[in-house]
Structures are given as C-alpha cells and as structure tokens.
Structure 1
C-alpha cells in the first residue's frame, strides 16, 4: 500500500505541466493519501498488536459486563478515578483491601502534617522570647499529641468513606482484588467468600509501601517505617529519647525535624552527600542549617552497615570514608523511599511488564489497552496530587477512549517538603536544567527582605526563578520559606497557562503578605532586563524638562 501511494504521487507529479495542474484533484488526492498513510499504518499496527495481546483470552471475553470500570485501590488515585466514573454516569466498582483513603490519609500526608503542626507550635512556644513572650510554657503530653494525630485522621475519614462514595453511585467492596483476565476482577471479600466482576476497563491504583533496607540485624533490634510508626508511637507515654532516622529525603527530613522539636535526640543518616539531594545545593544547605538549628545530628555521606544489640543498647553502625561509627537509638525510623505494590494483583499472570512501576503508554494504558494504571504503581512521581492527576486521565481514557484519548501531562508538577522552612518547587531546578543542556537565567529574591517575613520572625529563605534567557517565560521555580507550598501555586498557574514574570509583576499582591515575595522576585527579573538605552534617553528627557 505504501509503495502504491508513493508511485501514484510520483505519477501525478509527472503530469504537472502548469500552475493550474498543481491544484488538480488527482495530485491533491495523491498527497492526501501520503499524509494519511502513516496514521492508517499506525492504526492498523495498533489493531494487530491488540489482537495478539488478547488472543489467548478470546474464549473468556464476556458478551456483556457487570461494570464499565473496576478500580483496584482506594487511595488518592483510586478515589478520583471512581469519582469521575460515577460522575460520568458509568457503573463503577471500587475495591480496597485495607483502609479507604490509602497511604496519604492513614500513614502519610495527613498524620505527618498533623504531627508537624503540633511540633511547630511546641517549637514556637519554646522560643517565645522571639515574639516577646517571656513566660511561654511548652509542656505537652506526647501521647496527647499522637492522639490528636489520630483525631485529625478521623475528622478527614468521612471525605473518603465507603458511605460517601456509595452515595455518589460507586459500589465499594472491602477485599483484595486480583485480575484473572483482562475483563474480570476476582475479589476476596474481607467478610468472607469471593466475587467475580466482569468489566470493560480496569484501573490499577494500588499505591506503594515503604522500602525496608536489607540491613543485617535490622529485624532483631526492631524498627518502624513511615507507615507503622503512627500505631507504635501512639502507645508510647513519651517521645523516644534517642531516635535514628534512616533517609534524608522529604519523609526523613520532615519526621526528623518534627520529633526533634518534640524533644527527641535525633540522628539523621543518609547515604547521599547532602539532604534533599534532588533539589539544588542552596536548598540542601538551608535544610541542613534548619535541622541542625533544631538539634538534629545530620550524618550525610554515611552508609548504613548493620544493627546490633550490645548489652541492651541498640546500635546502628554507619560508615563514612572508611571510618565506622555507632549510632545509639531507642527507636529507628526507616525512611529510605517507597516501592510500588505490584504483586498479588494478577499482573504477573497476565504478563504485564513491570520493573519499579508498571509500564504504561502516554495514555496510562498497560500492555492491555483496557487496563490502566494511576498513582505510585504508574510512576514516575510518588505524590498524592499526581496520583489524582493521573486518575483523571486513566478514568476518562478508560470510559471515552473510543472517541478521544488524552495523554497524561506532566509539564507542570509541583511538590513541597513540609519542613521549616518549607521547600517547594515546580519545573526545573538548576541541576536538572544543566543536565538537560537547557539554557536558563536565574533570578533570586531573598525572603529575609520581605516585610511580612520579618514581622513573623520567619525571614529565612528565597524565591528562585529560572527563565528562558532574555525572556520572562518561566522554566522552574524553587521557594524556600514559610508557606512556600502555598506561594508556589501562583507560579504553577503561570506556568500551566503560559504567563510570564511580567504578568506576575503587574498583579497586585496584598500587603503585608508572604505572596509579595513572588512579585518582588518578578521585579528582580525586570530590573535585570531594563532597556538601558531607552532609560538613558528618558533621563535626558527629564534633564531637558527641568532646564
């Protein structure tokens, strides 16, 4: 077919003998065929691939289906996918084996932020003299702090509850879902028995679990993860006197600072040469200074070797440049990352490729076009808001892909690490831009000059903006400071809709607020790009007016 199309086009070109014949129907038709040929070939190859993938399941394909969509996992991604399907009037079943709300509500974002709030308040009261309060009392009950964490979870639980989603039109099943063929999910119900559900499409949103390092002696001395510490620590009468935190990423840094502010003697160990190693060095330096100011002992560039009990003392041995050091602890938190939950869902039997995450195409389809993935199992980001973002694409493509499909858009992904000061970023860092050979200019505004930050005794941090050289188009923004995560939203909006720094500069920001830092950063960029020659003429004009 391709050869015939090219031969036909050549034949039609050979017949061109005047300007009028260039617009002949034959020539236009020949080139139209050439233009559509790649699309047609692509469609044909897609059909062939799909037939091959589904060939061994042809005999079990149902003639009709119980559902339009089955969603496995009721975390951020699964909840959004189910919500969208129900809103679109599709019949949807949501399967969850543990707790609705997933890791974010029960073990991650929500409990950690509740803990951080209590720790921050205790820290501020302890340093009341900074605010002119000479008799501030920071006494507290650690058990009460942990009870408050649980109370916050309970307060948010109704937002993600089976009752709410049932009212929205979602069938909620409590049990473990396993895909037995491309159109059937078998649910081992928690109440007993099993149920098989046939469905047009499936969304896998099973989330992730903490990585437990293969460390000799670790299980013998005992440890907690970012998932299990909430239950274990809620049984304690006092904060652990000596706490070791393994991992210097966002989770490790947040927990280390929070427990240090609640009175623990914290040692933070990380194999990387600096904290928050995915961020730029100026961010890591400020993070290190902030944690050390709160009394955290930071050991970067240290490799964990083993754990041991020595005469009743729990020890973690670490090594740096050939020198071994023992870190004594009462509790050890492993915060070295999270891994996608990929086993036990029937993926291996279906032959769906998976390494650290499931392999998906830009539409979040797996090997089987009717099976989608969203959230931590899809990667590449392990962020609650990205899971929800992907869930929209997965659900819409699953339900309406016959008419139109949407590629998941990762062009503007914000993230925040909730230490004090907060670290927030969207787009490129300097290191990433350099690694990708992307030219950029850097504009930096120090928050220590901001009136509101000074009034709040929070004059620490900066706004750093990367732009296209000579233009105000934003490539990336990093903010370190109080409420950095909230400040970042303005830049997220700007980048998403193609607004440059000139637009931010021309926008009124309330005085005195932290948001003015964004306007002042834009002002710094403008000052560096003033039209010098024009200003020289303007100065001459004013001189002439005076004389």
Structure 2
C-alpha cells in the first residue's frame, strides 16, 4: 500500500531535486532563477552520467580515434606519414583532463552561487512530502523532481556475472589502468553507444566484433543511413554480426552467439555490454510510495507520477535517453512542479534531435519514413547527396546525404535525417525550422555562406523546389520570351 503520510502545514523547500545529471541540474537551475527555495541532492558526482561516463568521455575518445584514423588516411590528401603509434594511457589521461576541464560547469560551487542548496548523499522518501538523506537529515518540500537517470541494462545470460563484462559506465576507470586497448573486444548491442565505441576502439588498435540481435544496426534510424554507417564500420575493420543472439558466456572468456548458421564462439579479452539502459528507481523509497508499477516509474504527459507533486525528468522518465532531452524535460518538470496547481505544460517531443557520433555522423529529428508510414502520415521525400556539395568534394568527405520528409502538398518539415561530416551541426538549421514552423522554402531563401557544409540543407530545399516546378507557367514563359525576341 502506498505511504500517504501527512502533508505538512509548512515546508522546508519549494522543490527538492534528486539527481544532479543534466535533468537535475537544469531543474534546480530553473527553480533558483525563479527565486524558489530548492535543494539538489546527488549521491555521486555532479554532472551525472553525461559528464563522467557518457557524452563527454565518449566524445573525447572519438576525437582521439578520429585523429588516429586521419593519420592513417593522410596519403589520400597528399601527406605521407608513418603508421600512427597509439599511446593508450595518454588517450585515457586526455579523457580525464577533458572531464576535469568541464567539471566546473556542473560543480557544487557554481550551483551554490546560483542559489541552489547542494547536498551530497542518498535521498530516500519517508513519505510523499519528506526525504531523508543518508539516514540522517530530513527535508520536506511542496514538490519533487526525480532525475536519477538510468543504468546499463545487463541481460540475464548464463555466465554473465563471471564474464568480467564492462559497460559504458565502468570501461573508463578500467581502461585507464591499461597499457593498450584490448586486443579482442566484443561489444553487445548495435545502437548508438555500441557503434560509436566499436569504431573508436577499432581505430585505437582493438579487433572489435559487434553483435546485434536485429537484422541491422541503429534500428531507430533510416535504413539507408544505418547501412552507410555499417559500411564504414566494415571498412574500418569491425566485424559485424547482425542477426546474432548472445546465448551464454563460458569460463574461458568466450561468448557463444547464435545466428542463422548456428552457434559461434567469440573469444575476447574484454566484452562490453551496450544493449540498452534501464531507469534508476530502486532504493529511493519510490516503491513504498506506490509509484513503481511493473518495475517502471510511469509518468503522464506533464511528467507527473501518480502523485502529481512528484515529477520526473531525464532517463528515469523513460521517454527518451538524450542529455539534451533530459534538459528539455527538466523545463517541463520544474515549471509544472513550481506552478502547481495553477498552470501546467505538456512535454513536447516532436522536435527532439539526436546524433550518433560515428564517422560519418548520423543525425536525425522528427519522423523517419517508417514512423510516418506507421502513423499514417502522408509525406514526400526529398534527398540531396553530399557528393554534389562543393565543400564535401574539397574535403574528400562525399559520403552521405540529406533526407527530408515533408507533408504531402506542403513544404512543412516532418522529419530529417542527415548522414555525413558534421551532420549534427548541419541538423540544427532544420531543427530550428521545424520548431518555428518554417518550411523548406524559407531555408532556400536564406543566404548560406559558400563553401560550407550548411549549404547541404539549402541544396536539399532546392531539390524540393526543382521537383515542384510550375511547368505550365514555365511553358508560357518560354513562349513569351520567344515572342519578345521577335
């Protein structure tokens, strides 16, 4: 039975935020700016997964891997070099230095200066209005934002606990001790994390085998874009086993997988599990409040649990797993918490971009063709290939394309996928256009500097226009100008 407790007549805080990742930090920031009394509670490191084990370290690793690849690939640009030597401890040390350089942005000092009361410790609900930190201090609040994030999902495979597996959270500390990247690295999971790390470690000296149960990588993305990522992973030397299911681990560092041709044994030095993430909901007293149902923490469209004064944001809400998505949800959760009961805002996910940081990058926003078809949305497709873009040709990076879905009979953008160099940066213009309901013709009418990667969106808009030329008017114009010539 849910612990109803007794609602206090007076509260210590207007808002308590549990978890100092991207969602929690933004929630606390908004509350402090609004002059509410807010406490932010974090048991581990400020900045959460993104700063310490996710976005920041992985992008630093990707940069080192790309530099190694650029050196190896320098000959096609007329630069003769020797094979690069990977100093793996220096690579890992640089990652630590990058985290250290960014840490002040998410620090206790910064947020204390902004007016946030920061506390270190484990928060647990005693009743719906009270949390206890480390079994000692108790605080009451009118509202709460749960921003406890998510943890890597570990499948219940036989032998997994004795396999020595790593995750995207544990690999950084473990590899920081190593003199070199693992010789044989098996990665389970062909999503963004698996693909990014597979390419990076392959380029840093590992022989990587990437295992994916589905028939292709990056299932959420357009099939043709995912196929291009797969092609480049193959070219880098990654062995890709799609349509293969992990069956069991054996004691001699072997993983047994099963595909259409039967079982196969994969020997490894390290195995990385990246098959998904699950919300962190255990240990906070949420079960005792009756907020957890079937192992999940359900929330409504306003990010409220079944106790409306307790809201969620970020990975724990289970609606998306993106750092910027967590920040986006934090606005809704904190404002809905503080404005209760007078105002509430439904969270809007229609224009939420995402990027997979492989080479080439894969960036997308809005609907894919599969999603639009599933939803019964009528759409047209416009595609512009980067092998036509002058900047791409000059830099020798012609692989990729821009694909834009528009509503049938309109230039209103429903979604876009960009794959190629700087795809994540190029996508920003389309995301802006979608958010502010600007059609492709507005993009076409905007001056883009030459030669830049951003011209790709303008040329895609041009392709849209060319496919819709006013043929009757042009036929009339041809006759008119012929008459004018006499």
TM-score bin, normalised by smaller chain: over 0.9
SS of equivalent to 1:349? coil
Aligned to 2:204: 262
In structure 2, C-alpha distance between the alignment counterparts of 1:536 and 1:502, rounded to whole Å:
22
Q: 1:281 aligns with which of 216, 219, 223?
A: 223
Give the gaps of 5 or more residues in structure 1: 1-51
Aligned to 2:123: 177
- Tell me, yes or no, if structure 1 residue 251 matches structure 2 residue 193: yes
SS of equivalent to 1:372? strand
Q: Deviations over 1:479-529 (max 9, x none)?
A: 000110111110111001110000000001111110000000000000001
- Tell me, yes or no, if structure 1 residue 468 matches structure 2 residue 407: yes
1:135 shift after superposition: 2.2
Task: Summarize the alignment of residues 105-184 of structure 1 with structure 2, pairs less than 5 Å apart.
Answer: 105-135=51-81, 138-184=84-130
Q: Deviations over 1:48-73 (max 9, x none)?
A: xxxx999x43xx22111110000000
In structure 1, C-alpha distance between the alignment counterparts of 2:287 and 2:85, rounded to whole Å:
53
Aligned to 1:47: none
In structure 2, C-alpha distance between the alignment counterparts of 1:369 and 1:103, rounded to whole Å:
27
In 1, are the aligned partners of 2:2 and 2:289 still within 8 Å (CA)?
no
In structure 1, C-alpha distance between the alignment counterparts of 2:378 and 2:295, rounded to whole Å:
32
1:309 shift after superposition: 3.1
SS of equivalent to 2:371? helix
Aligned to 1:234: 176
1:363 shift after superposition: 1.5
In structure 1, C-alpha distance between the alignment counterparts of 2:428 and 2:256, rounded to whole Å:
42
- Tell me, yes or no, if structure 1 residue 369 matches structure 2 residue 311: no
Q: Deviations over 1:121-157 (max 9, x none)?
A: 1100111102110125522300100110111011111
Aligned to 1:446: 385
1:542 shift after superposition: 1.3
In structure 1, C-alpha distance between the alignment counterparts of 2:119 and 2:221, rounded to whole Å:
41
Give the gaps of 5 or more residues in structure 2: none
Aligned to 2:461: 522
| More displaced stretch, 449-458 vs 253-262 | 449-458
SS of equivalent to 1:350? coil
Q: 1:383 aligns with which of 322, 332, 336?
A: 322
In structure 2, C-alpha distance between the alignment counterparts of 1:353 and 1:206, rounded to whole Å:
14
In structure 2, C-alpha distance between the alignment counterparts of 1:379 and 1:216, rounded to whole Å:
27
- Tell me, yes or no, if structure 1 residue 494 matches structure 2 residue 433: yes
SS of equivalent to 1:424? strand
Aligned to 1:544: 483
Task: Summarize the alignment of residues 318-467 of structure 1 with structure 2, pairs less than 5 Å apart.
Answer: 318-355=257-294, 357-467=296-406
1:454 shift after superposition: 1.2
In structure 2, C-alpha distance between the alignment counterparts of 1:198 and 1:218, rounded to whole Å:
41
In structure 2, C-alpha distance between the alignment counterparts of 1:219 and 1:316, rounded to whole Å:
13
Assess, with a 3 A threshold, how the Cα gap between structure 1 residues 529 and 355 changes in structure 2: closer, same or farther. farther
1:356 shift after superposition: 5.8
Task: Summarize the alignment of residues 493-512 of structure 1 with structure 2, pairs less than 5 Å apart.
Answer: 493-512=432-451
Q: Deviations over 1:182-219 (max 9, x none)?
A: 2111111xxxx610001111110000000111111222
In 2, are the aligned partners of 1:53 and 1:368 still within 8 Å (CA)?
no
In structure 2, C-alpha distance between the alignment counterparts of 1:194 and 1:472, rounded to whole Å:
59
In 2, are the aligned partners of 1:353 and 1:367 still within 8 Å (CA)?
no
1:379 shift after superposition: 2.1
Q: 2:416 aligns with which of 462, 477, 482?
A: 477
In structure 2, C-alpha distance between the alignment counterparts of 1:500 and 1:354, rounded to whole Å:
42
Q: Deviations over 1:320-350 (max 9, x none)?
A: 1251111111110000010000111111111
In 2, are the aligned partners of 1:340 and 1:377 still within 8 Å (CA)?
yes
Aligned to 1:216: 158
Aligned to 1:307: 249
In structure 2, C-alpha distance between the alignment counterparts of 1:216 and 1:168, rounded to whole Å:
49
Task: Summarize the alignment of residues 65-104 of structure 1 with structure 2, pairs less than 5 Å apart.
Answer: 65-104=11-50
1:267 shift after superposition: 0.4
In structure 1, C-alpha distance between the alignment counterparts of 2:86 and 2:221, rounded to whole Å:
35
Max Rg structure:
1
In structure 1, C-alpha distance between the alignment counterparts of 2:407 and 2:308, rounded to whole Å:
38
| More displaced stretch, 316-325 vs 444-453 | 316-325
Higher helix share: 1
Assess, with a 3 A threshold, how the Cα gap between structure 1 residues 404 and 506 changes in structure 2: closer, same or farther. same
1:402 shift after superposition: 3.0
Question: So what's the TM-score if we normalise by structure 1?
Answer: 0.87
SS of equivalent to 1:100? coil
SS of equivalent to 1:64? coil
Greater RCO (Cα-Cα under 8 Å, separation 6 or more): 2
Q: 1:271 aligns with which of 204, 207, 213?
A: 213
Structure 1 residue ranges, 4+ long, deviating more than 6 angstroms after superposition:
none
Aligned to 1:39: none
1:470 shift after superposition: 2.1
In 1, are the aligned partners of 2:86 and 2:205 still within 8 Å (CA)?
no
